[in-house]
Structure 1
């Protein structure tokens, strides 16, 4: 799955205080709205209960001999009484009395143990579903028949079901022989989402049985499980039914064994209206659909049986979408957006072919469908054979979507296609090894995207897009291991973060480099072939890579990959390697310790890693060694001149920071500041030097004067990757100083660095601009306009006004698609209601999701408090025009605005982790941190999976307070001197 960890902070980010009060300040209109929303929820709940209790009768999915169960609520366990079908007439109607269980609720016993018992395993499923997606009846009816293998004789069968009404259950050996098992009762244990079928006679080890269940559910609007989505054509609402099951939501669509290790084959049948289409993981059987008995407007679509797969990878969509095809590769979209699928259809098959060669294994399914959904909670989801996407990461419109969106689309498609092997063909045993899926796909997506866009220097961009981002989170004490024990669904969802994705990718990249690409690929091929259609743990991967590396003699035979990589996956954090040179005898000592933003207790930190060290000097000969999980090593007689610099961690392939003695830092700085001297270092290492220096200084490893001296060479830097790397640190200083009396000194220095590059690349594009120049122009102009440069602001306003005065603004927009984010935000920021309302109307009318996202963020740039308050209300108002999955984007956009920060924080627990992070990024006083602590404490139960983010924000805020106390005066002094 492509996780939505986008940088919502790209837009206007002026600072403000959290507030002195111990409560959260919101506008009157927002407070009134939240009150009305709460009342509305109560009313809606009542209506929903009434609706469920009085559903109209819908014909059964298909006739079969099943038991009618009467439901009874008993706290957390719902029980249903049953009778033995073998003693009753098939046509007789039965009335069963309901019994209740008197045993202690199982929810009180080991509730953290949410794993299913292993007494039975699913062999295959036959699933039949009828979704009703007309207004007023968003329900579905279904029947599932599961063939189970019994491994341990048991008097119960336990599987998952959540938010389903169970109507009938039947357990039997063979339908033909009428050998039905008598059911004592069925219990729904809601906290663990278990459906437990208690039997009067046990199922026996070594035998197979069928479990048939009829059920009903709601096509919810929560973007989970089996849910509804919609779009409009000529003001007519069109509805679709679709799925999102990862990690634990297949159980919301049908009763199942909903754990990744319990793979099975699936045969799916979907009923649909005759004027719609359906798609699923496998190909449709036959060219014709069969009528649904009793429902004249519906027909059945039957699908081929799947290969063995996990429940979270099942998918189906019923819609009136169209598609474009390239052989067995299809891309689906709503009809008015079909032309936007061409780019995805072009690169998808190319990336698929690249992976077939890379993995050495043919794609095992007969087809791939990709579909852009109007409402989708993640970025994309790798369902086997049917990949679902947000529209913005699948659809591209030339002259409307930015060139950055081209790269983004290529990355997301490459990510999901990588999962077809790493995650789908071979699946982790449990979510503790989620990183095996996501970290691997995040790294390999760069290789896949590079295969179709080699000019973008994808492998250079990896360090700024993934590695440096992982460092920021992993430097916190509250970070977590890559491979971490998780139990309940909240804990599982909580690890879909930068540690699993970006850190996982970074350590795999590191391993690929010390093994070589050839050995890495051969080891992966061996691993995938040994575990295909099965499950694996990280040790299975380590074992295969160890075998291969020993065969190819790239690893000491006494060392294993597990020994090395366990230090990276089973320990939290990452090291800083300190390089201490002896300039007299040319020896070098490398020492390691954990890098923390709060490093006061670093002397007591005993965590050690296996670290691959690469190094070079002016002669550009790369050498390597290891720090083998020991505090330090010394290399003697390196034959490096005492006047020559030493560079460590070449191309930043290792997941660690590097600090040097002051003399070596000064030698590196002198090289950078020579005319064209910076070209002695690869752009990746220039990015590394800037990022390492500034972050080492921020926690006291390095004097800030040395770190800031490194940045002086930027006046002659014209590469995107180093600039993007340093902007992270410079933006941090912006947030820390923007509310102080000395902000002008920071502003003057940054404008000094930017002046020449701004003049050179300007505000307007040239036809022959390389894509990375477009990226650099965007980053430079964002900051130049934000710092108040008149030329930048006037250019933005003039372009916006020309668009605004156009007679056909929805058809003709001459603003460069690559600078619209800067232009829109700047114009809305200095404008008023007229500019905001114009942009809002363009958002409502836009047919390209990339453009809608850009406008949505820009609308948060307004300086009018009432406009921002109204905007937040609309973000959580149904039918406002803002989709549910975009609510977080609105809150983050407002939080990034100085005026809107408090408003957004007041409702942040209603949204996603990114909002909390956006709202708290500027905290740098103890009062702000203490107030936020109180805020979190008072609403802790409301944060859910965002609680870890809130705790991390508190830790970061405390670090900011210390930073201001320890370093602000020294930095201001340096800035004052540098500007004179």
Structure 2
């Protein structure tokens, strides 16, 4: 036992010694290894070579990737449409075919190309390297059936980046629909007897004719040929149109027609010169039997229209106006119009006021043609204004284009502003009317939470409905109004110099709004971006509240339905005056306040302050009650002391501030009493628009009677002021007086002033019974006929309907079409609504405005609303791409809405839209709901007060 214990001790000692030795050895090895590592550090092995990943997935947004950039297009379009149906041609076709070769620069190695295509059948796709003509293998191609409209081409081979050029060739076919978008067909009638110069005593014979025309803005070029349909992806285009004999093709540039034979048939082939570098949406082409009239100058000017338009020289005024405004713009902008020609065409059907295509502008007939014998001065003015707008787009939109649709106001706002300058070249001066037409129009939309900023984030504007939603009063009217404000801030001379810099620096390029501000900044010491950024980037506008006893001044986001507005203050430049100083040094308010501004503090209690002289600032002004009262007293004593524009703006501000629950409505109403001594148009029109809102709120209630009596009392003196002109069927010389004469007739007759309704009936009967109809002055026709039909019977309506059908002048038809909506007979209004579904009775482009006219009539409004709801699917299908039609329709048929039932009906329509995942007119629908909610609240709070005030004034 003891021996065993000894052996165990020896063994344990040996194990211990071995363990210690092993540990020491390991330590020694670690030390030696560390020394070696320090002397000879290891080198990492090379990473494995990974293959280059070529992206093939569709883009994550609705924007095209930038792997390829278009340089040029060659497009062949062949519509098979016959412009006239004869015995020889019974197989009418509404198809078109074509092919396109687009040359692109490849920026990164790619196996996938994304373009746009929609409603097309693409039958061939080939991709070749441009310099070698080497053909790349196409694995597959498809059109994505979602809002992206991506046309995806997958290649077997890799396209080399580094700026290598490739040609993408496609053949395709499509259909000429009648939806007033893309490449569409339009119908009209032509007097074939007049064409053949038959004997005069023979009865006229009208036959149907057809034409094919285009509206590619904003995203409809993809419906005609595969293309990179984004405004920044500019390219050069060469268009060739194959068309039937007897027709003429026109496009952006000059064309050379020649005959050719295809499959045994004779065709015309018109090859157009290359365009300047331009966006797809500015392309245009038309095939028709139209005739044209030309004015030779440095730039060839053509007016194209139906043959009958030239029989009475309806195109002459447009030729004259175009030449003068075009010259005026070239001098004003310091930039030559770059094309050799400008074509303008009067279309029987178009869904917009005018297009802005480079070198080929399309208008509705009443927007381009003027008949001296039947046209009013308002018709003449409209032609000049639309032409001025269309020509301004040749620079702002075509020569210089916004980079993306979020800055659409760079086109719309600038052209609207410049059109007021353009018409001055032909003798029209509307600058004083700017506030009525643009500022006050924009104020109405921009006082809603559902408005939008002038410049949104690019990511917020992606889909078709989001893009078309920008074609509204904010983009055009607010855009122009803030530019007018900026021009006053930095002086108009400096502003126009900056505009010249902008056009020169960015011609043929794309811009963001800061590019414009940078060019303007070069011409002034003022901080242009600091002043403008909040007006452009944030929604809405402020109301400036001034307490004249202390000079305390604040600014707040103005909203009809008050929610918490944003906290960012606008930089507000305030021009102001008192009854003792015609204009004081301007004050700039940069904070929300309240701040005390000594310039606004009055010393005497009977002194008054007037801020925002001539309404050059895009904001409203509220005062303490004492100052409002002093301004009212001044208007009643001597209104001439206050500038004309401000007389109108005081009324407009007061009524709208009252609608926003910031002012007692009786203060606004009291301002209108001075109008019995007013004869100027601007104050009257501002007042009538706001009183009309009260009519809309109360014409279905007991408040309407006192309102009508007050309006009769108010308008009598103005009607009498123009009565001699009216009885003699003449008009005043001053243009704004002509507007006011029509206002006087409209308000007097619609509110039952006996001398007016009797006058209207007398003129109507005299003209009705004379052989030569419509001898009254054209300015008066619309309101005279409206009054007679409103107070008349079925025979009066039928007479006007027959005259409408016989009229050949579009402006004349427009007057009659409006008058037909004035009847109080429900069954006639329902019949008229049904006519809007028949293009042979009411042209497709007139459908929306006709429904709007009917909705203006208190008897027609519920009928129009039920009609719109019942035919919503049809209307949205027909006008889904209408740039402004659906928004204006919803606005018109819901303006009277002020009850919970009407609100729920609107919300039901919105819910149905959302269930169908339709974004059509979504913003307009949201705005109608918000406005209705505001109306409900306001009527509940103010109905009795309004009634009491009107009763007290009788």
| Structure 1 and Structure 2 fold alike (TM over 0.5) | yes
SS at match of 2:227: coil
1:778/1:818 contact within 8 Å kept: yes
Cα distance in structure 1, aligned partners of 2:56 and 2:688: 55
Structure 2 vs 1, CA of residues 469 and 896 (structure 1 numbering), >3 Å: closer, same or farther?
same
Question: 2:242 corresponds to which residue?
Answer: 271
User: Structure 1 residues 204, 437: closer, same or farther in 2, change over 3 A?
Assistant: same
Is the Cα contact below 8 Å between 1:594 and 1:607 reproduced in 2? no
Deviation, 1:972, is 2.0
SS across alignment from 2:776: coil
- Counterpart position of 1:320: 289
Question: Is the counterpart of residue 795 in structure 1 residue 759 in structure 2?
Answer: yes
1:15 counterpart residue number: none
Checking the alignment, whether the CA contact within 8 Å between 1:278 and 1:317 is kept in structure 2 is: yes
Deviation for aligned residue 1:744: 2.2
Q: 2:680 aligns with which of 719, 722, 728?
A: 719
* 1:635 matches 2:597: yes
1:126 aligns with 2:74: yes
Residue 842 of structure 2 corresponds to which residue in structure 1?
A: 882
Q: Deviations over 1:39-82 (max 9, x none)?
A: xxxxxxxxxxxxxxxxxxxxxxxxxxxxxxxxxxxxxxxxxxxx
The structure 2 residue matched to 1:786, chosen from 718, 739, 750, is 750
TM-score (norm: length of structure 1)? 0.84
Post-superposition Cα deviations, 1:257-292, rounded to whole Å, max 9, x if no partner, equal 11100000011111122312111111124xx52424
Cα distance in structure 1, aligned partners of 2:615 and 2:464: 36
Q: CA deviation at 1:863?
A: 2.5
1:388-417 superposed Cα distances (whole Å, 9 cap, x missing partner): 111111111113222111111111111111
Partner of 2:866: 906
Question: What's 1:805 paired with?
Answer: 769
User: Could you tell me which residue of structure 2 aligns to residue 491 of structure 1?
Assistant: 466
The answer for the alignment partner of 1:355 in structure 2 is 329
Write the mapping of 1:430-469 to structure 2, written as runs, cut at 5 A: 430-454=404-428, 457-469=429-441
Match of 1:153? Answer: 109
Matched, 1:407 2:351: no
The structure having more radius of gyration, on CA atoms, is: 2
Task: Write the mapping of 1:559-708 to structure 2, written as runs, cut at 5 A.
Answer: 559=527, 561-582=528-549, 588-599=551-562, 601=563, 605-618=566-579, 619-636=581-598, 641-642=603-604, 643-674=606-637, 677-708=638-669
> 1:470 aligned to 2:442?
yes
- In structure 2, C-alpha distance between the alignment counterparts of 1:888 and 1:795, rounded to whole Å: 31
Instruction: Provide the residue aligned with 2:252 in structure 1.
Output: 281
Residues 757 and 373 of structure 1: CA distance in aligned 2, closer, same or farther (over 3 Å): same
RMSD after superposition = 2.0
How far the C-alpha of 1:521 sits from its partner, in A, is 0.9
The CA deviation at 1:256 is 0.7
Q: 2:364 aligns with which of 390, 400, 410?
A: 390
> CA-to-partner distance for each residue in 1:20-41, whole Å, 9 max, x for gaps?
xxxxxxxxxxxxxxxxxxxxxx
> SS at 1:289's partner residue?
strand
- Give the SS at the match of 1:606: coil
Q: Residue 43 of structure 2 aligns with which residue?
A: none
Which stretch has the larger CA shift, 931-940 or 748-757? 931-940
Q: In structure 2, how many angstroms separate the alpha carbons of the residues matched to 1:698 and 1:768?
A: 35
| Counterpart position of 2:306 | 334
> For residues 638 and 828 of structure 1, what CA distance do their matches in structure 2 show?
52
Stretch deviating more after TM superposition (886-895 or 932-941):
932-941
- 1:9 is matched with none
Structure 1 position 915, deviation (Å): 2.4
For 1:355 and 1:864, the matched residues in 2 are separated by 50
Shift of 1:528: 1.4
Show the counterpart of 1:376.
350
- Where relative contact order (Cα < 8 A, 6+ residues apart) is larger, the structure is 1
Alignment-derived partner of residue 834 in structure 2: 873
Q: CA deviation at 1:295?
A: 5.0
* Residue of structure 2 aligned with 1:915, choices 868, 873, 889: 889
Q: From 519, 523, 526, give the equivalent of 1:544.
A: 519
User: TM-score when scaled to structure 2?
Assistant: 0.86
- 1:766 and 1:840 mapped to 2: Cα distance? 25
Counterpart position of 1:17:
none
Question: Within the alignment, does 1:222 sit opposite 2:179 as a pair?
Answer: yes
Unaligned runs of 5+ in 2: 1-54, 86-91, 191-204, 876-885
* Matched-pair contact (CA < 8 Å) for 1:221–1:228: yes
Give the superposition deviation at 1:747. Answer: 1.8
For residues 722 and 957 of structure 1, the distance between their equivalents in structure 2, rounded to whole angstroms, comes to 27
Structure 1: gaps of 5 or more residues: 1-103
C-alpha distance in structure 2 between counterparts of 1:868 and 1:451, whole Å: 43
Map residues 77-92 of structure 1 onto 2, 5 A cutoff. none
Q: 1:953 to 1:105 in 2, by over 3 A?
A: farther
Once residues 259 and 208 of structure 2 are traced to their aligned partners in structure 1, the CA distance between those partners, rounded to angstroms, is: 27
Match of 2:478 among 503, 514, 524: 503
Classify the secondary structure of the residue corresponding to 1:886: helix
Structure 2 CA distance, aligned partners of 1:637 and 1:924?
Answer: 41
Task: Give, in whole Å, the separation in 2 of the partners of 1:518 and 1:329.
Answer: 30
* Match 1:730 to one of 691, 705, 709: 691
Q: Which residue of 1 aligns with 2:48?
A: none
Does the Cα contact within 8 Å between 2:301 and 2:343 map onto a contact in 1? Answer: yes
- Mapping of 1:511-526 within 5 angstroms? 511-526=486-501
- In the alignment, the residues of structure 2 paired with residue 943 and residue 790 of structure 1 have an alpha-carbon distance, to the nearest angstrom, of 50
CA distance in 1, matches of 2:611, 2:853: 39
Structure 1 592/745 Cα, relative in aligned 2: closer, same or farther at 3 Å? same
Question: Which residue number corresponds to residue 186 of structure 1?
Answer: 141
Cα 1:931–1:254, aligned 2, differ >3 Å: closer, same or farther?
closer
1:523: Cα distance to partner? 1.0
Partners of 2:326 and 2:391 within 8 A in 1: yes
Instruction: Tell me, yes or no, if the aligned pair for 2:897 and 2:932 is still in contact at 8 Å.
Output: yes
- In structure 2, how many angstroms separate the alpha carbons of the residues matched to 1:225 and 1:698? 42
C-alpha distance 290-937 of structure 1, shift in aligned 2 (>3 A): same
- CA shift at 1:450, angstroms? 2.7
Residue pair 1:394, 1:413 contacting (<8 A) in 2 also: yes
Corresponding residue number in structure 2 for 1:929 = 903
Q: Do 2:81 and 2:244's aligned partners in 1 also have CA atoms closer than 8 Å?
A: no
Work out whether residues 712 and 752 of structure 2, in 8 Å CA contact, stay in contact via their aligned partners in 1.
no
* 1:522–1:701 Cα change, 3 Å: same
- Quick check: 2:465–2:921 contact (8 Å CA) kept in 1? no
Aligned-residue offset at 1:221: 0.7
Evaluate the alpha carbon distance shift between residue 863 and residue 255 of structure 1 in structure 2; reply closer, same or farther with a 3 A threshold. Answer: same
Alignment-derived partner of residue 44 in structure 1: none
**Mapped contact 1:895–1:915 kept (Cα < 8 A):** no
Rounded Cα–Cα distance in structure 1 between residues aligned with 2:627 and 2:264 = 79
1:966 and 1:864 map into 2 onto residues whose CA distance is 33
